[in-house]
Amino acid sequence: MCLGCLSEGVVVIIGTWNLENLFRPGGEAGPRTDEAYEAKLVALADTIGEVAPDVLAVQEVGDPGALDDLVSRLDGRWHTRLAEPDDRGIRVGFLSRFELTGVEQVTRFADGLPPVVVDDDGETVDRMGRAALRVRVAAEGLDVTLVCCHLKSKLLTYPGGRFTPRDEGERARYGVYALNRRAAEAATVRADASGVLGGQGERTALVVLGDLNDGSHAATTTLLYGPPGSEIGTPGFERPDRGDGDRLWNLAPLIPAEDRYSRTYQSRRELIDHILVSHVLLDRVEDVRAGDTGAGSVGDNPAERRDATASDHRPVLATLTTD
């Protein structure tokens, strides 16, 4: 495998970005004023213009109309698709300069996964909190399937909408509920990816991307990788093996170390937004980077950022060469 070996070709930029509560003003989650809303749209549009994606997976889209408002501020023609919303009214989707086809949602947990408990009352769920969205794009000779997902947040909420637990026992229990849910969601996206690949990753172009809500070495994130081994930067990377047909490679190690973060949480930089690719795309990867939004450090109370202009996430982008 030779990263960047096809740099003579036309390039396509594929990215992922959590837009942070993109709602129109007036609701509980949206900006409080039209002025704050307009400022956010301008900031989001400016960032998209700067990073110049051809296909952008997005998360935390509230009102579909708000996405239309954003697109109206972008240059050129864009195609959009959105998944169904979660209980909070946010969803994943795609913006693309190319037509989006083969649109499918991924909702119910993969076969064999039991429902998971989500609270102290014993309530269970058997589907993803936020549906993943799968699309196909034919871009400059590159036919690729993309799956956008937004896994269960690390931000814990407690009964009554609290962000603070009553005691450490409650904090630990709800941490387990969230972790189990995120793991089941990751396994569900992985099962869908396996279905797309069919063991033919050397020929089938697949990108799984989105807000995975944990780092590249977290157990829930690595569930998406498939067969272990051959990660970028390891001795096994250059050695083909039988797992290559099913494996997905996280492109995180290709982001320059000083820039390898997509959010700053309580003053700590972390990379929780990821782009994973199948084997056939590895030789097409020319560059991986994170865009800047100017957002500062965030904490555990999202209400404090209701009128924020910049998203609390930075976009992550991969430049791929095409035929």
Summarised one tens digit per residue, pLDDT across range 293-304 is 888 888 887 778
Average pLDDT, the chain: 94
Q: Are 251 and 304 in contact (CB under 8 A)?
A: no
Q: Which amino acid is at 90?
A: I
Is residue 7 scored above 60 in pLDDT?
Answer: no
Residue 107: CA count within 13 A, CB half-sphere: 7
Round to whole Å and give the CA distance between 152 and 83.
16
Place of tokens 């982008």: 317
Round to whole Å and give the CA distance between 116 and 8.
48
**pLDDT band for position 139 (cuts 50, 70, 90):** confident
Contacts of 59 (CB under 8 A, 6+ apart): 16, 17, 18, 19, 90, 92, 130, 148, 150, 210, 211
pLDDT digits (tens, 9 = 90+) for 257-277: 999 999 999 999 999 999 999
CATH 3.40.50.10190 assigned to domain 11-321? The reply is no
Contacts of 34 (CB under 8 A, 6+ apart): 25
Global pTM?
0.96
Is residue 228 scored above 60 in pLDDT?
Answer: yes
Q: What average pLDDT score do residues 231-247 get?
A: 93
Percentage of residues in the chain having pLDDT higher than 90: 85
What pLDDT is stored for residue 6 in this prediction?
A: 46
What pLDDT is stored for residue 4 in this prediction?
A: 52
Q: Are 93 and 131 in contact (CB under 8 A)?
A: no
